[in-house]
Amino acid sequence: MKIGYLFPGQGSQSVGMGKDLYDRFETYRNVYEKVKEITGVNVAEITFNSDDNVLNQTKNTQICILTMSLAILELLKEKNINAVVSSGLSLGEYSALIYSGKISFEDGVKIVYKRGELMQNFCPEGNWSMIAVLGLDEEKVIELCSTEENGFVAPANFNCPGQIVISGERNAICKFIERAKESGAKKIIELKTSGPFHTEKLKQASLELKKELNKIEIHKSSLKVIKNIDGIEYKEDDDVRDILSKHIISPVKFEKCIREMINLGVDCFVEVGPGKTLSSFVKKINRELQVCNINNIDSLNNTIESIDKIIK
């Protein structure tokens, strides 16, 4: 069995996420303390005791999701459960890079906190929205975006067959929804994000992030990480800093990431962090694969039990 880790990104958050894990496991709590020491941010307080308005602020969302994913990883390490390859959706790629050792825990926490601040502070003025479009193929969605005349819209995430995320100005998004439904879209879902993420509109944030990325070290690692911008694994000679700076202005090719992990022999996917959206993406690609998600005590125990049965 080859295990692949998937790490969720912004939009998967909810107030109270992982609270039962935090209350039960000292190892889990220790990660929150380390993050607090590094950033000065009380992530536990924001995660468990704030409200949606606070948690959904990009500067808070990203560090809270990252912390939860890293804390779950520590619990998996204690059970000697490890992945041979990993990937993450948007923000989740940083969790994957930290897990692989390409970026250290401390540098990873610092850069993700800074990333959240920059993406919030350098978000251009306007009324922005992100939606998931279900039931249209890539070509049709790209065509609808390129011909939208009511404002800026662009593909942001290619998640799985029949699900593509669009980012843009709210007025243009509203018109896009009408045209998408006329073209056969089965469903439109508004996401819990509010910026033109993974589009050219975050160019200034990308440039500022590159300055911060230049301050961290990139290490060699034998663990594979599949990157969002092209669905291919990081190579030793890749400019990781440049890739991550372009990451926030480039569409996420997440379906390609999953397919590449399958090509590398992954037959057990474990989603590490809040929600279980990424697990659903895998199932839409191949229902024969073992898929688990960990976001609370029950799902942690179920995942450990499932993996133990396969190994034995």
| Residue 69: partners with Cβ closer than 8 Å, 6 or more residues away | 7, 8, 92, 95, 272, 273
Active-site entry in 90, 100, 167, 250: 90
CB 297 within 8 A of CB 24: yes
Q: What is the DSSP string of 46-67?
A: HHHHS-HHHHTSHHHHHHHHHH
CB burial of residue 16 (10 Å; 0-12, 13-18, 19+)? middle
Beta-strand ranges (E) seen in the chain are 3-7, 85-88, 128-134, 153-160, 163-169, 187-190, 224-226, 268-272, 290-294
Residue 219 is a catalytic residue: no
Residue 14 is a catalytic residue: no
Active-site entry in 198, 245, 247, 250: 198
Residues with active-site annotation: 90, 198
